Structure 1
């Protein structure tokens, strides 16, 4: 009998630290920290909501949430999250359920890892 193996995706996430530094210069350390913290909270909420909309096959809300998630992620330098959220949007538009399943899994993974990375970056640049 063949042995099944589970593969773990090991992708580095990239956070544009320059975007955080720009926010810090524009808003000051306290203002930038508030913006980044609010954005991170909103991203976490939207990732959860996006997953719920995916499970309930609500393509209209899935599109809307993926688009807004991409915009918020881009504002705080999470370009990987933004790009994958737009990939979700493309899968919904193409009505490709198989690709959507794979891209949703990737978005949740990249989103979680990026939130952790930006939290660590925020500690270094603003702390």
Structure 2
């Protein structure tokens, strides 16, 4: 799992502990919602909405230093652009696994679970 702890350090330095924890928690909640939207949108094969949702995922994941999630989302964008449903399905599954691990890792690193 690639996590950029330097990004979290910057957030904590800029926003303080409470502010950083609020931003990180909100980003993680938003990411969870976007992943659900992504799955629903993929089922109906709405490519424009898929691209927009992937861009939002990349932006939020970058904000909190989730480099593995950003990388997987960018791979997914390539699959959508290439209209490769098999690869798209595989990369979406990988993105889901990364998202699950990322939530735990960010909470552990930032001590957000307490």
With normalisation by structure 2, the TM-score equals: 0.93
Task: Within 5 Å, give how 1:106-121 maps onto structure 2.
Answer: 106-121=94-109
Residue 22 of structure 2 is matched in structure 1 by 34
CA distance in 2, matches of 1:120, 1:57: 35
Aligned ranges 1:35-50 → 2 under 5 Å: 35-50=23-38
Show structure 2 runs of 5+ residues with no match.
none
Runs of 4+ in 1 over 4 A off after TM superposition: none
Larger radius of gyration: 1
Residue 60 of structure 1 and its aligned partner are, at CA, apart by 1.3
Unmatched tracts of structure 1, length 5 or more: 1-12
- Kindly state the Cα deviation for residue 110 of structure 1 after the two structures are TM-superposed: 0.8
**Aligned counterparts of 1:107 and 1:39: Cα–Cα separation in 2:** 16
**RMSD of aligned alpha carbons:** 1.5
Partners of 2:89 and 2:7 in 1: CA distance? 30
Aligned to 2:76: 88
Once the two structures are TM-superposed, the CA of residue 17 in structure 1 deviates from its matched residue by 1.3
Offset at 1:91? 0.6
Q: Number of matched residues?
A: 114
* Pair 1:103-2:53 in alignment: no
TM-score norm. by structure 1 comes to 0.84
